């Protein structure tokens, strides 16, 4: 079994602590994605699992083995980097088999493993080519193939699709999902792209400032976020947030034309509260309380950018091709039951 267990993992660079006591369990065969904005510590944490960064304190176990201070080569992991890091003078096949060759594996075994990886990644026709004669997507497949050939317990991906153009990213994303289904290995994948996280992960770990904000299945994070940060980070376009005021269990929201809604059970104090509504759960409605600033029509979906009576900005997602001209006055429609509530200070979810 090759699950992982991180216990109170801390990383300091000199006086600066960048990872603050991470506790995390990743199960055997799970696809776990570390996601968060730039600088949140996701690459550092991955590199600590890989053994490329020293762990300041805490413990990292892979398959019940304490590998906290083990050599990278002793951890049973293989890493795929954003920059493919292929040897330019070696063919695709030689690149993929190089690790095994260095470890003295027999030629026949290397050839069989390279052949199998090439089959999985549809690289059979390219085995004799040099990396420079490949597209970006093909090069990244070679880098993934090199990881597969090593037969690791855990695959580590560090933003592997960032260097590819939009179309190839989608293609490779599907291939990586397919690869996980086919070989069923434990995978940890770092990205700043919440769409990649949502589409690939069994389990998403949302990081901010070196802390875990929430861990959960993609739709759990989407439907039931623990705090405003996760609510705003997961989902595109991002959730709309409004200032509301609670008085005796009724929340009034000026940005929604003074609409009122029932306060959640855990909100007992009167005063400020943050209200969240997803763009797809809002619509243009009757009335003239809001102003359309801009509409984007993408064909199947349109986004309307509105200004509310209190100056707040609102995004509404529509599934028609209507485009009210900028400056049009409109009302707004939503179901108050769809609103989520957050503590105005701590940003914790109020349920
Ligand atoms: P991410 O991958 O989420 O963009 P990183 O893991 O690369 O973030 O970085 C996390 C934090 O650690 C950042 O604030 C970064 O500036 C800091 N950091 C990374 N490497 C070093 C280093 N060698 N020395 C000091 N600080 C570092």
**pLDDT at residue number 1:** 64
pLDDT of 272 higher than 90: yes
Q: Which of 9, 22, 34, 41 to mutate to test the pocket of ligand 1 (most atoms within 8 A of CB)?
A: 41
Residue 267 Cβ inside 6 Å of ligand 1? The answer reads: no
Omega cis (within 30) before 155: no
Selected residue with higher pLDDT from 340 and 165: 340
For the residues 52-70, what does the mean pLDDT come to? 97
For the residues 5-19, what does the mean pLDDT come to? 98
Q: Which of 39, 208, 213 to mutate to test the pocket of ligand 1 (most atoms within 8 A of CB)?
A: 39
- Can you tell me which atom of ligand 1 is nearest the CA of 44? 6
pLDDT digits (tens, 9 = 90+) for 284-342: 999 999 999 999 999 999 999 999 999 999 999 999 999 899 999 999 999 999 999 99
pLDDT of 222 higher than 80: yes
Residue percentage of the chain with pLDDT more than 90: 95
Residue 260 Cα to ligand 1 midpoint, Å, equals 44
Residue nearest to atom 23 of ligand 1 (CA): 13
Residue nearest to atom 22 of ligand 1 (CA): 13
* Range name among 170-179, 222-231, 238-247 with the lowest pLDDT average: 170-179
Which of the four CATH numbers 3.40.50.300, 3.40.50.11400, 3.30.1360.70, 3.30.2350.10 does domain 4-233 have? Answer: 3.40.50.300
Ranges of each domain in the chain: 4-233, 240-350
Residue 209 Cβ inside 6 Å of ligand 1? The answer reads: no
Assigned token pair, 122:
């549809």
pLDDT class of 2 with cuts at 50, 70, 90:
confident
pLDDT, the chain, mean:
96
pLDDT class of 238 with cuts at 50, 70, 90:
very high
Residue nearest to atom 14 of ligand 1 (CA): 39
pLDDT class of 144 with cuts at 50, 70, 90:
very high
Residue nearest to atom 26 of ligand 1 (CA): 13
CATH superfamily label, 240-350: Nucleic acid-binding proteins (2.40.50.140)
Residue 59 Cα to ligand 1 midpoint, Å, equals 20
């Amino acid at each position: 079994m090759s699950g992982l267990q991180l216990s109170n993992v801390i990383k300091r660079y000199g006086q600066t602590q960048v990872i603050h006591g991470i506790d995390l369990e990743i199960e055997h065969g799970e696809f776990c994605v570390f996601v968060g904005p730039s600088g949140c510590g996701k690459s550092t944490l991955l590199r600590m699992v890989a053994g490329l960064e020293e762990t300041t304190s805490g413990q990292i176990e892979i398959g019940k083995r304490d590998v906290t201070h083990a050599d990278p080569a002793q951890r049973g992991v293989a890493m795929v980097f954003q920059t493919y890091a292929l040897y330019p003078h070696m063919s695709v096949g030689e690149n993929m088999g190089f690790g095994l060759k260095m470890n003295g594996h027999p030629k026949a075994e290397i050839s069989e493993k390279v052949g199998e990886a090439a089959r999985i990644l549809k690289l059979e026709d390219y085995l004799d080519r040099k990396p420079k004669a490949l597209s970006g997507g093909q090069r990244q497949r070679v880098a993934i193939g090199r990881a597969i050939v090593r037969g690791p317990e855990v695959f580590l991906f560090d933003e592997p699709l960032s260097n590819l153009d939009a179309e190839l990213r989608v293609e490779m994303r599907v291939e990586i999902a397919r690869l996980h289904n086919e070989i069923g290995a434990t995978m940890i994948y770092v990205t700043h792209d919440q769409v990649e996280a949502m589409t690939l992960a069994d389990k998403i770990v949302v990081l901010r400032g070196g802390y875990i904000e929430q861990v959960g299945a993609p739709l759990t994070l989407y439907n039931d976020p623990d705090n405003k940060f996760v609510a705003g980070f997961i989902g595109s376009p991002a959730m709309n947030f409004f200032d509301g005021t609670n008085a005796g269990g009724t929340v009034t929201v000026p940005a929604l034309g003074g609409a009122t809604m029932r306060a959640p059970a855990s909100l007992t104090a009167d005063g400020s509260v943050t209200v969240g509504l997803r763009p797809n759960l809002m619509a243009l409605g009757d009335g003239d309380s809001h102003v359309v600033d801009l509409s984007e029509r993408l064909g199947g979906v349109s986004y309307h950018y509105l200004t509310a009576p209190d100056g707040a900005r609102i995004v509404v997602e529509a599934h028609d091709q209507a485009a009210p001209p900028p400056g049009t006055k409109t009302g707004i429609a939503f179901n108050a039951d769809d609103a989520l509530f957050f503590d105005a200070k701590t940003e914790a979810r109020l349920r």
